Structure 1
Amino acid sequence: MALLAALAAGACADNGSADASARVGKPAKVDPADFVKKIDNPYLPLAPGTKLHYKGVTKDGPQEDLVEVTHRTKKILGVRTVVVRDTATERGKVVEVTDDWYAQDRKGNVWYFGEDSKTIKNGKVTSTEGSWEAGRKGARPGIVMKAHPKPGDKYRQEHAKGVAEDRAEVLSTDARVSVPYGTFRDVLKTKDDSPLEPELVENKFYAKGVGSVREVAVKGEKDELELVKVDKPRPHSPQR
């Protein structure tokens, strides 16, 4: 799963109904009229042209991750989603490229509509495992970031049975985190896992106005990624 394709909850147009949907584990229906063009949730702002650079380590060694909020869009279930490309490299070689699809509703919840993930070895695609798209094969979207997260919130992030079933729990909204890019307070901290991989658990940290700044495995693998640089969009970047 890509870095920012973090976890999406059983979604709905307002925050309260999203909570209810998540509790029963059922995804809500999608109404394109409930969505807006701009993704400006404080914990996950996705302005086209933004590039976030991460460095860290995985079980396979040092890794770098580039997350690019593109100017491209993709219509899914009638909703215009923003395409975010995540490129992971190890020792200078690309090992995974993922396009993630996000959209924000009128209440400020950021929905996750799926991903096109490609594992690459020696320049060739060797696997598309984990790929899914809402509306296909029974998959439904979820919420990757709530409008008003609070400690104790638990929610499903993906609804693709047997393929992608990530979920999250909000642990804190007042964490303090230091990464190469800077020191942040009032950070949102989540616990992320999946019933498909019960042996793995991660903590993720989101800073207001920036997005994801750190993720670290706390059970299973020893993976860790930290934000080292942000390239902000140019003032007059064209919108498509």
Structure 2
Amino acid sequence: MPARLRRALPAGLLGPLLLVTGCSVGFPPTLGPTGIDGLAVPTPSPDPTSYAVGVDHPFLPLAPGARWELSDAAAGARLVVEVGGTREVAGIAATELIVTRAVPTTLDGAPARPVTAWLAEDDAGHVWLLAGEGDGRSWETGADGAEAGLLLSADPRRGDGYALWAEDGEPAATVRVGATDGSLAVPWGVADRTVELALDTDLARPGDELAVVLGEGVGPVAVADLVADDDLVLVERG
């Protein structure tokens, strides 16, 4: 990943939850909602009738069986992202996304353990995180105070910040939207439009920070792990 990404998404960007509002004065008149306008994030009880089956967001097309492999050759690090099956979460058909990180060696010699997210896209095109499992913990919307959060709005807007999911009314992880008009090389050419997301994946453990770049029509094209100091870029998509 180019150094530009680290400059664009410094560690300080992944701070506490931000509430973003907008206003308009005079002409032209206010346009329709973009970003997170009008959304209640997080939400403890999403309406199952407002969700479609599957996730086909332009920046996160999760076709069944899709697979992305990202690599940092210098560090010997590899990240595999795979679309699994579906299961019902809070009455909604959620799509399984499995993320497995592999390194040449581990401290205990154990195989890499995947992190799994269950995602769903509402009728307006927003992608929500309904459940998660990994790093020794799991949660599910509606159970034990867990609330669904937002991963990606239908029309990502730079500067938006919101809860990725919440627990007992407090954000447990957050997302901040960075640049939405970039481009990045991919194995077959160039992803002409990209969106940068800064994820603070666990507010209870400061430092669990990722910078993720999604390419339109492609999905994940780069990931910077600000803790492990890895810059992973897409090397294969299947």
What is the Cα deviation at residue 56 of structure 1? Answer: 2.5
Tell me the residue number matched to 2:97: 84
Against the structure 1 CA distance between its residues 130 and 227, is the aligned structure 2 distance closer, same or farther, given a 3 Å change threshold?
farther
Q: Secondary structure at the match of 1:33?
A: helix
What is the Cα deviation at residue 181 of structure 1? Answer: 5.8
Distance in structure 2 (CA, Å) of the matches to 1:188 and 1:15: 15
The structure 2 residue matched to 1:36, chosen from 18, 42, 52, is 52
Check whether the contact 1:207–1:213 (CA below 8 A) recurs between aligned residues: yes
Of stretches 185-194 and 107-116 in structure 1, the one that deviates more from structure 2 is 185-194
Tell me the residue number matched to 2:216: 208
- 1:100 and 2:114 are equivalent in the alignment: no
Tell me the residue number matched to 1:234: none
Larger Rg, first or second structure (1 or 2): 2
- 1:62 and 2:69 are equivalent in the alignment: no
Against the structure 1 CA distance between its residues 161 and 28, is the aligned structure 2 distance closer, same or farther, given a 3 Å change threshold?
closer
Check whether the contact 2:119–2:129 (CA below 8 A) recurs between aligned residues: yes
Tell me the residue number matched to 1:16: 37
Check whether the contact 1:57–1:223 (CA below 8 A) recurs between aligned residues: no
Distance in structure 2 (CA, Å) of the matches to 1:114 and 1:202: 19
Distance in structure 2 (CA, Å) of the matches to 1:142 and 1:217: 22
Q: Which runs of 5+ in 2 are unaligned?
A: 1-17, 20-34
Q: Deviations over 1:175-216 (max 9, x none)?
A: 122355643232111222253233454322110011111121
Relative to the length of structure 2, the TM-score reads: 0.73
Tell me the residue number matched to 2:158: 151
Check whether the contact 1:55–1:227 (CA below 8 A) recurs between aligned residues: yes
Q: Deviations over 1:61-108 (max 9, x none)?
A: 5222222212x2111111111112222222287311233211110000
Distance in structure 2 (CA, Å) of the matches to 1:205 and 1:82: 20
What is the Cα deviation at residue 130 of structure 1? Answer: 3.9
Distance in structure 1 (CA, Å) of the matches to 2:196 and 2:98: 23
Distance in structure 1 (CA, Å) of the matches to 2:65 and 2:171: 28
The aligned length equals 201
Tell me the residue number matched to 2:204: 196
Q: Which runs of 5+ in 1 are unaligned?
A: 1-8, 118-127, 232-240
What is the Cα deviation at residue 223 of structure 1? Answer: 2.7
Q: Secondary structure at the match of 1:45?
A: strand
Percent of pairs identical after alignment?
A: 25
Distance in structure 2 (CA, Å) of the matches to 1:17 and 1:162: 19
Against the structure 1 CA distance between its residues 155 and 164, is the aligned structure 2 distance closer, same or farther, given a 3 Å change threshold?
closer
Q: Secondary structure at the match of 1:91?
A: coil
What is the Cα deviation at residue 163 of structure 1? Answer: 11
Distance in structure 1 (CA, Å) of the matches to 2:88 and 2:206: 32
Against the structure 1 CA distance between its residues 216 and 181, is the aligned structure 2 distance closer, same or farther, given a 3 Å change threshold?
farther
Q: Which amino acid aligns with 2:116?
A: D
What is the Cα deviation at residue 42 of structure 1? Answer: 0.4
Q: Which amino acid aligns with 2:78?
A: E
Check whether the contact 2:45–2:142 (CA below 8 A) recurs between aligned residues: no
Check whether the contact 1:132–1:163 (CA below 8 A) recurs between aligned residues: no
Q: Which amino acid aligns with 1:146?
A: S
Distance in structure 2 (CA, Å) of the matches to 1:130 and 1:180: 35
The structure 2 residue matched to 1:183, chosen from 190, 194, 201, is 190
The structure 2 residue matched to 1:51, chosen from 67, 76, 81, is 67
Tell me the residue number matched to 1:121: none
What is the Cα deviation at residue 133 of structure 1? Answer: 1.6
What is the Cα deviation at residue 31 of structure 1? Answer: 0.6
Relative to the length of structure 1, the TM-score reads: 0.73
